[in-house]
């Protein structure tokens, strides 16, 4: 989430206005990044009037038309999601593969093997 005090975008890529995923991020002239939906909520009412930046401690004022698509954050989000999907798929493969492994008892837990009587 965007830390309102510092304007830092964390690894969760969540919008500081909506609290949801940073979908279609926009960057304001002051450098703060929020989702398109977040800025849309912020500029609702009178989009033609300058608004104060929603990040706490920021006194910048700007118009909705001054917001720019933040391709860098969008690319980072896509890369992060792709890595998450790959890691999850790899973890799922490891779980499936582990069921094929032979059971090996822990050290000290060996049980004597009982021999079955020979069949006639």
Residues of the chain with pLDDT under 50: 1-7
Contacts of 61 (CB under 8 A, 6+ apart): 50, 51, 52, 53
d(CA 28, CA 41): 14
Instruction: Return the pLDDT at 56.
Output: 83
CATH number 3.30.40.10 is the correct assignment for the domain at 1-81: yes
Instruction: Return the pLDDT at 13.
Output: 76
72 secondary structure, DSSP code: H
Instruction: Return the pLDDT at 35.
Output: 87
Contact, 42 vs 33, CB < 8 A?
A: no
């Amino acid at each position: 989430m965007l830390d309102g005090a510092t304007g830092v975008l964390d690894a969760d890529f969540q919008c500081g206005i909506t609290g949801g995923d940073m979908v279609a991020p926009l960057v304001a002239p002051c450098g703060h990044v929020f989702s398109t939906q977040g800025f849309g909520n912020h500029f609702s009412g009178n989009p033609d009037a300058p608004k104060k930046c929603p990040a706490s401690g920021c006194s910048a004022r700007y118009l909705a038309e001054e917001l720019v698509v933040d391709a860098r954050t969008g690319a980072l989000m896509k890369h992060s999601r792709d890595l998450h999907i790959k890691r999850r798929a790899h973890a799922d493969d490891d779980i499936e593969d582990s069921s094929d492994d032979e059971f090996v008892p822990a050290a000290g837990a060996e049980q004597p093997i009982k021999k079955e009587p020979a069949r006639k």
